[in-house]
Chains A and B, each alone.
Chain A
Amino acid sequence: EVQLVESGGGLVQPGGSLRLSCAVSGFSLSMYWISWVRQAPGKGLEWVANIKQDGSEKYYVDSVKGRFTISRDNAKNSLYLEMNSLRAEDTAVYFCARDRGAGSHEYWGQGTLVTVSS
């Protein structure tokens, strides 16, 4: 069974940092692009970043460029999102999702909540 489990969310002050993790099982991580997608409370979905199978390509939404870094460790079956200089508008549930290819997100984790507040 394909599973993605996010962790690392919590309450952080503006300007602070947080590292999210996504542990996968039921498939070989090295074969898939993976994305992070977030959803602010009561709002729609926003794609944040994605990373190629070998980590050689990474893309980010403009609002997080220079602040967030996506990475992966295929040997540990894990994906990461390092978030720095956090702002109130980064408050959201963060999902990791396995990409099917051709721009679709096939399997999703349950999400982890990040709250940026003083």
Chain B
Amino acid sequence: QSVLTQPPSVSAAPGQKVTISCSGSSSNIGNNYVSWYQQLPGTAPKLLIYESNKRPSEIPDRFSGSKSGTSATLGITGLQTGDEADYYCGTWDTSLSAYFFGAGTKVTVL
């Protein structure tokens, strides 16, 4: 059982919006920044969101992150077929002195 809980899958039609939740505890999300990663099939992960809500310069503003308490959310608007991928949240756990990823969420564009 992962320290961080994500839904296994989400789906929506092209142009629509999806949100992916990431639930943790006070020792991880509650007191540390959350990052989000996109992994396309057969490729290395790519950083989408850092410090819970910031985007690297090359990431389009269709991707957004937020955090509240012990949960975080990734939002993707204007869904495109190229967004079909696995998405992972990640954060440091202060009590365990280790970094954890969620189990991943597969995004399907219908």
- Among B18-26, B44-52, B73-81, the stretch that binds chain A is B44-52
Residues of A within 8 A of B37 (CB): 45, 105
What range describes how many residues of B lie at the interface? 20 to 34
Contact A102 B51 (CB under 8 A): yes
Main secondary structure, interface of B, reads strand
What residues of chain A lie closer than 8 Å to B100, measured between beta carbons?
47
Task: Fill in one digit per residue for A75-108: 1 if any B CB lies within 8 Å of its CB, else 0.
Answer: 0000000000000000000010000101111101
Q: Tell me the smallest distance from the CB of B28 to a CB of chain A, in Å.
A: 10
Q: Are A44 and B104 in contact (CB under 8 A)?
A: yes
- Provide the residues of chain B in CB contact with A47, threshold 8 Å: 90, 98-101
Q: Is A61 touching B98 in the complex (CB atoms < 8 A)? A: yes
Q: Which of A37, A62, A104, A108 contacts B50 (CB 8 A)?
A: A104
Using a CB–CB distance below 8 Å, which chain B residues touch chain A? 32-35, 37, 39, 44-47, 50-51, 56, 86, 88, 90-92, 96-104
- Give, as a whole number of angstroms, the nearest-CB distance from B13 to chain A: 26
The bracket for how many chain A residues form the interface is 20 to 34
Quick one: given A45-B37, A59-B97, A100-B47, are A105 and B103 in contact (CB under 8 Å)? no
- The verdict on A104 contacting B33 (CB below 8 Å), with A95-B44, A109-B44 known, is yes
Contacts of B88 in A (CB 8 A): 44-45
- The one of B35, B39, B98 in contact with A104, judged by C-beta atoms closer than 8 angstroms, is B35
Give the docked Cα–Cα distance between A37 and B35 (Å): 14
Chain A residues near B34 (CB-CB < 8 A): 103
Smallest CB separation, A24 vs chain B (Å): 14
The answer to whether B47 and A103 have CB atoms under 8 Å apart is no
